[in-house]
Amino acid sequence: MADIIKLLPDHVANQIAAGEVVQRPASVVKELMENAIDAGATSIKLIIKDGGKTLIQVVDDGVGMSETDARLSFERHATSKISSAQDLFNLETKGFRGEALASIAAIAHVDMQTRTSSQELGTHIKIEGSKIVSQDVVAVPQGTSIAVKNLFFNIPARRNFLKSNQVELRHITDEFHRVAMVHPDIEFHFYNNGSEIFNLPSTKHRQRIVHIFGSKMEHRLVPVNEETEVVKISGFICKPEFAKKSRGEQFFFANNRYIKSPYLHHAVVAAFEGLIKSDTYPGYFLFLEVDPSSIDINIHPTKTEVKFDDENTLYAILRSTIKHSLGQFNVAPVLDFDHDPNLDTPYAYKEKGAVIPKVTVDATFNPFQETPVKKSGGNGFRKQNAKGWEDLYEGLGNQSDHSGFSSVIIESESEEQGTLYSGGEVEEHLASTFQLRRKYVVSTVKSGMLVIHQNRAHERILFEKFLGEITVKEGISQQLLFPLELTFNKQELAVLREIKESLTNIGFAFQGLEEETVKVTGVPMMVPESGIGMVLDRLISDYMEGYEDGSISQAEMLAKALSRNLAVRTGDVLDQESQLALVNNLFACKEPSLSPFQKITYTIISEGDIDKKFN
């Protein structure tokens, strides 16, 4: 048989490598910005057009390249940063593979201008799909400017795979933040479609974070500092009360590189235990410095996972350092590190405590009553304190013989709601309802007992309501007597502008979406005035998290986020009227059985199942 193995031509090899290095415009941004930092730049400009699809340009004032270096820089494995394998264990630079420029040049039109301090004139090189199309001398300032145009022009499949400009811009912005955050001494400018979206002067870490995330960060940050033999930790955590429902403001950097580490994240969360609700995440910006030989960053170029030699020790140090900071700055109730956090009252419970006085009670339900209670009477239980009530409910599950379920009678009493359940299994007459453990709304139906998960059911109801309103623009707005001023950072503002129309459709009204301070002049009927800021904050972060998933529409994403944030929660007390409304509205939904997040909203425990319990 004839020989069949051939060496791939360079441009093909480069294209293959590019598949690994360049996944989307944000990867190019990362590589170019890192090169600029490695070149010792003091000022870096990032210029983006159309989410990076048309243009990504990085201009720096670093050391620049000689004519030969400028040409060589586009060769694969061409790097000035390491010369032996040993160097890999002592990396001071961000790049070292010599792959990035070669890869980028293989899949885009690249235009580079560069000059070193010792040259009078610089070099201008144009490359398209790995081929040099021109090279001239040019008068330019010292430093390097690399413009990457028409990314993936020669790989249509990859180009088509890119998300919308807004989504790509957000990935770029994330990357920009990560790089800018570790180099506060470097000045950064970021232009998108001709307008400057970030202007970050040279400063210190704290101010850099504030410049990126907005002035409201200023009073949220608590410093963290610790130096041990294994690791030096510095940076900031956000005060527990600003923990968010969604991830976003969590950053680890190891030796000045952004890293992801679920394990270390856990260490931070563990330090916050008892101070934040279990479904919220604390914000943090933590810079770890470890011996370069104790960390393996020689991993895939686009991956951010790292391997530390002694993760367990790192975990313990991190956790106690953060506890210490929380204690020192009086944000934790105790300074005692060995203290058992389980003994603390979690915030969640403290808040719930405040709800207790509002307890309303279904007067028609009394598990110990021999005979059915009339709706008008029997309110003796109102005198009980809430704890007493909980005790009563607690026993309910295993109480095997009480006649409290006066189901037959109550069921037959309520004829007027006969039309509620249409079709399917639930074709029944609605009886009275009661709330079980502030979590379920229970009612009877012909085939047995209907148990509704109050939170999920309400999510379904609100989801369908908002989805309708967003599309048909019929939300009712409640005008605020005194417009509310809220502060947002640039990214949040960008999202607000993006979703403004939908928000207006459901009843929000805004003024001044250009500035950090936004005036809210109207809100949907459902949103309490005191909760506007929180609802918008969560909406924005939910929306940002959802952007990854290109498969659902903006309307659906918003309706989901709104329903999640406005629905009654487990633990909320519902009065009789609300319970009934919940049942009615749920079964008026198009898809009553699932929450917008595909969780079951109700179940029916059949009479047969109940009968079995009595056998």
| Binding region for Mg ion (CB under 5 A) | 35, 95, 100
- For the CB of residue 205, give the shortest distance to ligand ADP in the complex, in Å: 24
| Residue 95 found at the interface with ligand ADP (CB under 6 A) | yes
Q: Which residue is nearest to Mg ion (CB)?
A: 95
| Residue 100 found at the interface with ligand ADP (CB under 6 A) | yes
Binder to ligand ADP among 14, 15, 27, 35 (CB under 6 A)?
Answer: 35
Helix (H, G, I), strand (E, B) or coil at 580: helix
Is residue 75 a contact partner of residue 102, using CB atoms and an 8 Å limit? yes
Q: What sign does the dihedral 170-171-173-174 (CA atoms) show?
A: positive
Phi then psi for residue 498, to 5 deg, are: -65, -35
Positions in 167-196 near ligand ADP (CB under 6 A): none
| Residue 111 found at the interface with ligand ADP (CB under 6 A) | no
| Residue 96 found at the interface with ligand ADP (CB under 6 A) | yes
Among residues 284, 315, 311, the alpha carbon closest in space to that of 295 is found at: 311
Nearer to ligand ADP, 99 or 537 (CB): 99
| Residue 101 found at the interface with ligand ADP (CB under 6 A) | yes
- For the CB of residue 14, give the shortest distance to ligand ADP in the complex, in Å: 11
Query: What is the Cβ-side half-sphere exposure of residue 163, based on CA atoms within 13 angstroms?
Result: 18
Binder to ligand ADP among 79, 130, 454, 491 (CB under 6 A)?
Answer: 79
C-alpha to C-alpha distance for 406 and 387, rounded to whole angstroms: 24
DSSP letter at 51?
G
| Residue 63 found at the interface with ligand ADP (CB under 6 A) | yes
Residue 78 contacts which entry, ligand ADP, Mg ion, none (Cβ below 5-8 A, type-dependent): ligand ADP
Binding mask 304-343 toward ligand ADP (x if CB under 6 A, else -) reads ----------------------------------------
- For the CB of residue 159, give the shortest distance to ligand ADP in the complex, in Å: 22
Phi then psi for residue 226, to 5 deg, are: -160, 140
| Residue 122 found at the interface with ligand ADP (CB under 6 A) | no
Positions in 131-170 near ligand ADP (CB under 6 A): 144
| Residue 81 found at the interface with ligand ADP (CB under 6 A) | yes
| Residue 99 found at the interface with ligand ADP (CB under 6 A) | yes
Binder to ligand ADP among 28, 29, 36, 268 (CB under 6 A)?
Answer: 36
Residue 14 vs residues 11, 67, 102, 158, 429: alpha-carbon distances, Å: 5, 22, 6, 15, 70
Query: What is the Cβ-side half-sphere exposure of residue 45, based on CA atoms within 13 angstroms?
Result: 15
| Residue 235 found at the interface with ligand ADP (CB under 6 A) | no
Among residues 115, 119, 151, the alpha carbon closest in space to that of 27 is found at: 151
Residue 276 contacts which entry, ligand ADP, Mg ion, none (Cβ below 5-8 A, type-dependent): none
Residue 338 vs residues 239, 322, 515: alpha-carbon distances, Å: 21, 14, 46
Binder to ligand ADP among 73, 250, 414, 578 (CB under 6 A)?
Answer: 73
Nearer to ligand ADP, 100 or 243 (CB): 100
Given the rule CB under 6 A, which of 92-100, 185-193, 290-298, 527-535 is the region that contacts ligand ADP?
Answer: 92-100
| Residue 297 found at the interface with ligand ADP (CB under 6 A) | no
- For the CB of residue 47, give the shortest distance to Mg ion in the complex, in Å: 19
C-alpha to C-alpha distance for 458 and 563, rounded to whole angstroms: 8
Please report the beta strands in 255-296, taking only residues with DSSP state E, as ranges in sequence order. 257-259, 284-290, 295-296
Nearer to ligand ADP, 100 or 306 (CB): 100
Give the amino acid at 7.
Answer: L
- For the CB of residue 20, give the shortest distance to ligand ADP in the complex, in Å: 13
Residue 337 vs residues 315, 330, 333, 533: alpha-carbon distances, Å: 15, 14, 11, 34
Residue 604 vs residues 38, 277, 323, 367: alpha-carbon distances, Å: 64, 31, 46, 20
- For the CB of residue 568, give the shortest distance to ligand ADP in the complex, in Å: 53
**Total residues in contact with ligand ADP, by rule CB under 6 A:** 23
Residue 63 contacts which entry, ligand ADP, Mg ion, none (Cβ below 5-8 A, type-dependent): ligand ADP
Nearer to ligand ADP, 100 or 210 (CB): 100
C-alpha to C-alpha distance for 76 and 478, rounded to whole angstroms: 62
Given the rule CB under 6 A, which of 100-108, 153-161, 203-211, 347-355 is the region that contacts ligand ADP?
Answer: 100-108
Q: How would you classify the pairing of strands 307-308 and 295-296?
A: antiparallel
Among residues 613, 564, 355, 593, the alpha carbon closest in space to that of 452 is found at: 593
Among residues 217, 606, 584, 586, the alpha carbon closest in space to that of 444 is found at: 606
| Residue 98 found at the interface with ligand ADP (CB under 6 A) | yes
Binding site for ligand ADP (CB under 6 A): 31, 35-36, 39, 60, 62-65, 73, 78-81, 95-102, 144
